[in-house]
Chains A and B, each alone.
Chain A
C-alpha cells in the first residue's frame, strides 16, 4: 500500500545541512497497522510527512496505492492527498467551525453538495460517538473528543491510508486507550492501512502489527511487532521495550550476587518468556518432578501484545549440578524463550 524507496530528506541551511532522513526504505502492507517509534528528533515526523508529501523528500520515491506521489504536479498531489487521512497530536481542528462542520471540511474542499456531505458526516459522528456534540465548537470538547473529531474528519473522504502523528501523545492513559481501541476497530472494519508514529512503546504494543524503530534518521530495526518486542536487537529498541514492561525485578537482581558459572550449592536464575497460550505452569511443575529440583518464582508478569498474551517468569532453580543442567536443557527444549540470568551462590 505504501512504499518508500530510498527516501532522503535534508534541510539545507547556512548553519549546516541537517540530514533528517538518511536513505530510508519502507514497505507498508494493505490493512496493517504499522508503527514507527523513535525519540523526539529521530526523524519520525519527517518520515510520516513524506508519505503525504507535506515534506517533499530530497531524494527517492513515495508510492501510495500504486501511484508515485513524487512524480505528481501540485493538482495531482492534492487529489492524491484526499485518499490519505491524517490526524495530529494537537488535533488541528478549525476553532471557528462546529464538530459537524469540521468533519464536513474535507468534503467541502472536494466540492460535494450539502446532501452528499450530510450523508457522509452523520454516520461518522455515530462511529466516533459524537452524535450529541455535532453543534459544539472544538473549545467545548475534551482532548479525547477532539481527537475523535480529528479521526472522523480524516475518515470523511474514505481514505485508504490513515497517518497518525503522535495522535495519543497529548492524551491521558485512559483516553489514549479509547482512541487506540477506536483506531483498531476502524482498521478491522474498513481494512484501513494505518501508519502511527509515536514515542510511546505502549501504543505500539497495543495496536501495531509491524513496527520500525527510527534513530537519527535511520531505521535501525523493523519487523513484526511481537518479534521486535520479545526479541529486540538494537540497544535503543531494548530501551523502548524495557520502558513498556514493568521490569521491576531488575532492581531485585542488583541485590543478588550473581556469577556466570555454577559453583557448589548455587542456584540458577533464569527468565522464561512465552507467547500465546503455552502456559508456563505445567512446564515448571513437570521440570520439578522429572529432575528433582526445586523451583521458586521470583517474578511473573503477563502482558498483551496487541491481542496476544506475552508472559515472563523469572525462576530460581536449586538442586544438584546435574539436576540444574538437565532442567535447563529441558527448558531449552520447550516452546519458550529461556534466558540464563546467572547463578546465585
Chain B
C-alpha cells in the first residue's frame, strides 16, 4: 500500500471515530430521557400515563422500523437545517443520531424494567419523589445493563456509519466502497474490513469489562 493510501486510511479511521462518538453521545443524551419516560409512564410504574406512553412508543417504533438508508435520505432537509449541509462527515451525524436514539431508548427501557419492583416500592416508602427514584434508584441500579446496551448501539452505529459513508459521509465505509470495491483495490478493502472488525471487538470487550465492573449483583 502506498503512503498516500495509509494516510487516507488513518484519516478515514478518525472520520469514522468522529461520526460514531458524536452520534453515540447525542443519541444517548436523547435516548436516556426517552427510555426513562417510556418506562415510568407504563401502567403500574411510578408515573403511569398511557397517552404519553403510547404516543412516544409509536414514534420510537416508527423510527426504528424505517430502514437507515431511507431515513438518511428522508431527513436531508432537516440535516441541512441543523448542520447547514447534507453531505460530509458532520452531516452524517444527524441521521445516525436519529436512528440510534430510539434504539437506545428501548434498550434503556428494557434495562429499567429489569429492576426489582420491590426496590422501587422501598424508595417510595421512604418518601422518595419520582425524580429521586429515577436518578437515585432506576438509573444507578440499571447502569451495568445500560452500558451493555449502549455498547450494542455503538456497534450498530459503526455499521451504519459505513453506510452513511456511501452517501458522502466519509469514513472507513466510504473508503472501502470507493477504493476497495469500485477500484478493485482488494488490499484496501481487506484492511478497512479488518480495522472495522477490530473496532467492533474492542468496543464489545470494553463494554463487557465496564458492565462487569459496575455490576454488584454477582460479587
Please give the residue numbers on chain A whose beta carbons come within 8 Å of chain B beta carbons, in ascending order.
52, 54, 77-82, 84, 86, 88, 90, 92-97, 105-106, 108-110, 137-140, 153, 157, 163
Q: Is the CB of B136 within 8 A of A139?
A: no
Known: A54-B121, A94-B119, A96-B143. A139 touches B216 (CB 8 A): yes
A92: chain B residues within 8 A (beta carbon): 116, 118-119, 121-122
CA distance A77 to B118 in the complex (A): 19
Residue of B nearest to A109 (CB): B128
B128: chain A residues within 8 A (beta carbon): 78, 109
| 5 further A-B pairs in the complex, CB-CB below 8 A; given A92-B116, A95-B141 | A77-B127, A81-B124, A94-B141, A96-B141, A108-B136
Q: Are A95 and B216 in contact (CB under 8 A)?
A: yes
Report Cα–Cα, A193/B214, bound state, in Å: 38
- Which of A78, A93, A137 has a CB less than 8 Å from the CB of B127? A78
- Tell me, rounded to whole Å, the shortest Cβ–Cβ distance linking A72 to chain B: 12
Of residues 164 to 215 in B, which have CB atoms within 8 Å of A's CB atoms?
214
Nearest CB of A to B137, in Å = 7
Least CB distance, B30 to chain A, in whole angstroms: 24
Q: Are A54 and B219 in contact (CB under 8 A)?
A: no
Q: Which residues of B come within 8 Å of A, CB atoms?
A: 116, 118-119, 121-129, 132, 136-137, 140-141, 143-144, 214, 216-219
Complex contact A139–B218 (CB within 8 A): yes
Q: Chain B residues with Cβ under 8 A from A88's Cβ?
A: 118, 121-122
- Closest Cβ–Cβ distance, residue B121 to chain A (whole Å): 6
Q: How far is the CB of A235 from chain B (nearest CB, A)?
A: 33
Contacts of B136 in A (CB 8 A): 105, 108-109
Q: A94 vs B143: C-alpha distance in the bound complex, in angstroms?
A: 12
Are the CB atoms of A140 and B116 closer together than 8 Å?
A: no
Question: Are A81 and B125 CB-contacts (below 8 A) given A94-B137, A96-B141, A109-B132?
Answer: yes
Residue pair A109, B127 in contact (C-beta under 8 Å) = yes
A79 contact set on B, CB distance < 8 A? 127
Chain A residue contacts of B214, Cβ below 8 A:
96
Complex Cα spacing A139 to B216, Å? 7
Contact of B126 among A81, A93, A97 (CB under 8 A): A81
A54 touching B127 in the complex, CB below 8 Å, given contacts A95-B217, A96-B141? no
Residue pair A54, B119 in contact (C-beta under 8 Å)? no
A95 to B127, CA, bound (A): 19
Complex A-B, nearest 3 residue pairs according to Cβ-Cβ distance, in ascending order:
A81-B127, A92-B122, A92-B118
